[in-house]
Amino acid sequence: MMSSSPLNLRRAIIWIGRLLLGGMFLYAGYSKLFLPTMHPHPPIGIALAMFALQVDSYQLLSPRAVNFVSHTLPFAEIALGLLLILGWQLRVWATLTTLLIVGFFAAVVHSYAAGLQINCGCFANSEPLTIMTVIRDGLLAVLAVLMTVFAFMEARSPHPWSAPEKA
């Protein structure tokens, strides 16, 4: 029966979401801290100050808020990436991930609609914010929402093969 298969659509989307979003968050946080595209790598202090400039270019936050976001987001992305991949307390971290990605999506849509000619700042490279960025972030937001909803559904009626999750 399909419902007893470990590879039904719901579980597949949860796994894809965990691996794709978890891997992407890990790389996003890592790239903001270590600027892998630059050689020699600048110190982390400079990398974070550089990221602050990218956050500031969105013109959405006060300088104080820009500093807070730029100095916490890379670490939060790495932590969320690891937690998603590990799958521990999935519903909690999937919900937080979804809130974060929807926030990114809103910021990107707002800046694109305002006609700002800026870089995305998503992976600490020179990627311009274009309609492709908006579409990509939109698709990632959809995936995050689906992963979270399905994680809650899965917790209510876990597959017989899975160990019961205590969240």
Residue ranges binding another protein (CB under 8 A): 19, 22-23, 26-27, 30-31, 35-40, 42-43, 45-46, 49-50, 52-53, 56-57, 59, 63, 66-67, 82, 85-87, 116-119, 123-128, 163
Residue whose CB is less far from another protein, 1 or 88 = 88
Residue whose CB is less far from another protein, 87 or 138 = 87
Residue 107 CB, nearest approach to another protein (Å): 13
- Alpha-carbon Rg of the chain, whole angstroms? 18
Residue 88 CB, nearest approach to another protein (Å): 9
Q: Please give the Cα distance from 76 to 73 (Å, whole number).
A: 5
CB contact set of 144 (below 8 Å; sequence gap of 6+): 17, 21, 94, 97, 98, 101, 102
Residue whose CB is less far from another protein, 9 or 46 = 46
Residue corresponding to tokens 């910021």? 107
Residue whose CB is less far from another protein, 67 or 102 = 67
SS3 content of the chain, % helix, strand, coil (to 5): 70, 0, 30
Residue 69 has which token pair? 């976001």
Residue 150 CB, nearest approach to another protein (Å): 18
